[in-house]
């Protein structure tokens, strides 16, 4: 896999010396963002200062959630969520395989076991019917992944969670700003985790946030991100006290004021950036509408799609080129196609340590052979997109 990418990138460099490489995703930083960070650098607080609370409140307000807890990454956020729910050894958490490894890894951090439940073939979102079949006496929670930026079937997941007394966690790392039946992602599950990695909708370099309506869960996560210590440095400063207690084993998962200053500035532009992503997606839809060998993932009618990714499936029966060859050709034309994702249960760590195996999630496994993610990011120009479409059509005629 790496070899293939490496070689095609070398070729890309020679072939496309005139044209810049088009990545699959990319941050957008403007002068206001830069000014905000400089201002934070000149302030009294580089970390755990006023910008953290301001950013938490801004994101929570944006998604209509009660509380936000800023952390050092989306992965840290998922770990905090598992901790706050009291998940631990002997417990099971149901997760989809079509996601980034962190969704399942966070369950293992706590000593519990992730249980993979297959996805819907049209949307590649977790299939609620199959998820319910995976429930045992040990199941504590379901993590739904709003894959590519499209929310899961949360009404069905809620029914199941209620019936079996389970927690619902949303891995919303692809879906900041997305909506499900007019409800924002962040105001649907018990807890929702966002990532601010540079390819995501807004960035803080690295960073993440968990949002929830439950104050007790938010409080547990605040303590967990700070070593298990019940007060932070700023609170002690205000009280004029040196005393603190470490109540349980936590981590340093804090997000700095510098990063939160960047996040606050980035969040202001989120609506227009999502609109641009939707426009790009619309143009791709139109371009592929009459091509039988290329099929964008379906979008349900009741969702507002945030398009973190634009994923298409190749119908290899009608297509002269398989996915891997197409990937290589696109890369050598200077187009940063990608594949999201290798199903998590197929990674060596999982097969070797958890005994997962091919055949366990056939829908995700078949999809994995056929999917390819095309470039989509707010700074992508119409000319860039026209080039991607032309190259793609030229390759598989």
The residues annotated as belonging to the active site are: 200
Q: How far is the CB of 288 from ligand PLP (least distance, A)?
A: 24
Helices (H) and strands (E) in the chain, counts: 15, 13
Number of residues that this document lists for the chain: 397
- Find the farthest-apart pair of alpha carbons in the chain and give their distance in angstroms, rounded: 72
Q: Is 363 helix (H, G, I), strand (E, B) or coil?
A: helix
347 neighbors 355 (Cβ within 8 angstroms): no
Q: Which of 85, 112, 119, 145 binds ligand PLP (CB under 6 A)?
A: 145
Q: Binding to ligand PLP by residue 262, rule CB under 6 A?
A: no
Q: Binding to ligand PLP by residue 68, rule CB under 6 A?
A: no
Q: Binding to ligand PLP by residue 307, rule CB under 6 A?
A: no
> Residue 240 — φ and ψ, nearest 5°?
65, 40
Is 125 or 187 the residue whose CB approaches ligand PLP more closely?
125
Q: Binding to ligand PLP by residue 74, rule CB under 6 A?
A: yes
Q: Which of 27, 36, 48, 75 binds ligand PLP (CB under 6 A)?
A: 75
- Which tokens is 204 given? 């803080």
154 neighbors 161 (Cβ within 8 angstroms): no
Q: How far is the CB of 145 from ligand PLP (least distance, A)?
A: 5
Q: Binding to ligand PLP by residue 105, rule CB under 6 A?
A: no
Rg (CA), the chain: 21
**Angle in degrees, 0-180, between the axes of helices 323-332 and 382-395, rounded to the nearest 10:** 130
Q: Binding to ligand PLP by residue 347, rule CB under 6 A?
A: no
Is 23 or 50 the residue whose CB approaches ligand PLP more closely?
23
Please count the residues of this chain forming the interface with ligand PLP, following the rule CB under 6 A.
14
- How far CA 305 is from CA of 170, 183, 191, 282, 364, in Å, comes to 15, 12, 20, 11, 21
Is 126 or 135 the residue whose CB approaches ligand PLP more closely?
126
Q: Which residue is listed with tokens 């000319």?
A: 383
Q: How far is the CB of 140 from ligand PLP (least distance, A)?
A: 19
- Which residue, judged by CB position, is nearest to ligand PLP in the bound state? 74
Residue ranges in contact with ligand PLP by CB under 6 A: 73-75, 99-100, 102-103, 145, 171, 173-174, 195, 197, 208
């Amino acid at each position: 896999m790496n070899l293939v990418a490496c070689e095609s990138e070398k070729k890309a460099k020679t072939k496309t010396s005139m044209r810049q490489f088009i990545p699959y995703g990319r941050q957008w930083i403007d002068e206001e963002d830069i000014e905000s960070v400089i201002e934070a650098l000149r302030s009294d607080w580089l970390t755990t200062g006023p910008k953290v609370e301001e950013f938490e409140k801004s994101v929570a307000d944006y998604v209509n959630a009660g509380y936000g807890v800023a952390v050092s990454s989306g992965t840290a956020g998922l770990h905090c969520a598992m901790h706050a729910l009291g998940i631990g050894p002997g417990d099971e958490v149901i997760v989809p395989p079509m996601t980034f490894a962190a969704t399942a890894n966070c369950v293992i951090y706590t000593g519990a076991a992730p249980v993979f439940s297959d996805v819907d073939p049209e949307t590649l979102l977790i299939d609620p019917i199959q998820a319910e079949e995976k429930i045992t006496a040990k199941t504590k929670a379901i993590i739904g992944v709003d894959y590519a930026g499209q929310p899961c079937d949360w009404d069905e997941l809620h029914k199941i969670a209620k019936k079996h007394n389970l927690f619902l966690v949303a891995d919303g790392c692809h879906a900041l700003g997305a909506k499900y039946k007019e409800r924002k992602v962040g105001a649907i599950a018990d807890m929702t985790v966002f990532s601010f990695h540079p390819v995501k909708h807004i960035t803080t370099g690295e960073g993440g946030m968990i949002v929830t309506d439950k104050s007790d869960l938010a409080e547990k996560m605040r303590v967990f991100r700070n070593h298990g210590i019940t007060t932070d440095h700023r609170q002690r400063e205000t009280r004029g006290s040196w005393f603190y207690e470490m109540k349980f084993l936590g981590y340093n998962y804090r997000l700095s004021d510098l990063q939160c200053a960047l996040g606050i500035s980035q969040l202001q532009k989120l609506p227009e950036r999502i609109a641009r992503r939707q426009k790009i997606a619309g143009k791709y839809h139109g371009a592929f509408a009459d091509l039988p060998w290329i099929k964008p993932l379906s979008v349900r009618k009741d969702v507002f799609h945030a398009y973190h990714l634009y994923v298409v499936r190749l119908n290899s029966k009608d297509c002269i080129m398989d996915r891997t060859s197409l990937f290589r050709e696109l890369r050598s034309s200077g187009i940063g196609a990608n594949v999201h994702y290798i199903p998590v249960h197929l990674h060596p760590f999982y097969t070797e340590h958890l005994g997962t195996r091919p055949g366990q999630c056939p829908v995700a496994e078949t999809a994995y052979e056929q999917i390819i993610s095309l470039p989509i990011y707010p700074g992508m120009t119409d000319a860039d997109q026209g080039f991607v479409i032309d190259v793609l059509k030229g390759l598989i005629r």
